Structure 1
Amino acid sequence: MAQNSGVFEALRDYPFIQDPEFANGLAIILGHPETPATEAEMSREDDLVLQAKCFFFSRKENLSTAIDFAAYKSWLVEPSTREPADSSSTTNSSNITPAATQSSTGSEPVYPTSFAHIVELITTGQPIPGIEQIPDTVLTGHDITSEKPRRRKPWENDTTVEVQNETAAGVP
């Protein structure tokens, strides 16, 4: 991982906020391609934005191999890889993240950021944010009886019924 730390540092220090190409690409990923991504959206540190940053940076810098997202994410979490000045800037950006997610809650539902968090919510029986709960029962009192007569089968036509009645009566 020491060989990747230089690339990871360059990725962390890249000015994504000033890059209009990244803003347009992230806007497409976030579902509003008509307007570029806002500064708050580009500063988020959820998995989706970090993966977009890894992909964009590897393409922009023409890296021979793609950046391993899992390795980069674990590198960001490790306190030994950061300098003290970096940890304070990360704290500031993490303070921005909740505000960014709160501003986007008006238009889109908020979903948990990681699969592990979703699994934890399911196993503990807690509701998953942003998912509409549908009741298991059908609403009673809303059933409607059919107004049309029962559809007849092809062999249940009027002529068949008349022929059967005539043969039963003994008419030759």
Structure 2
Amino acid sequence: MTPEQKATFEAFSKYDFDNDTRFQSGVSSLMNRYKKESIDSDDILERAQWFYYTKFVEPFDLDAFREWKAKKEADVDQEQKRFTFQELVEMIETGKEIPGIKQIPNTLNEGTPSQPKLNVRRKPWESVTE
């Protein structure tokens, strides 16, 4: 997905269809016509919004928008998912990755250690003459 498509999808998602009088005048008759039939009103509304937006603002592919929207919702659901203690225990036992936990590699620093530049500090019981 290109950044332009993402920007278009974001703009479409945030467009204020409720206060657009030209859109509202046309959609009310459309919704009344399909209200009597057993058709998903959310789908009809989304298609009407898409048609209006592509005609008067900016054209885009509805199927690509739906894929982006589904992925975005899945990402939000995954981020907000809280696990029970038992679910966490099962994830740890089976070796599954726990979302939101940063994986730190189990290796040591492979660089060469630096040489000390300061003298070792004397302990109080060590004499100054030693």
TM-score range, shorter chain: 0.3 to 0.5
TM value normalised by structure 2: 0.45
TM value normalised by structure 1: 0.35
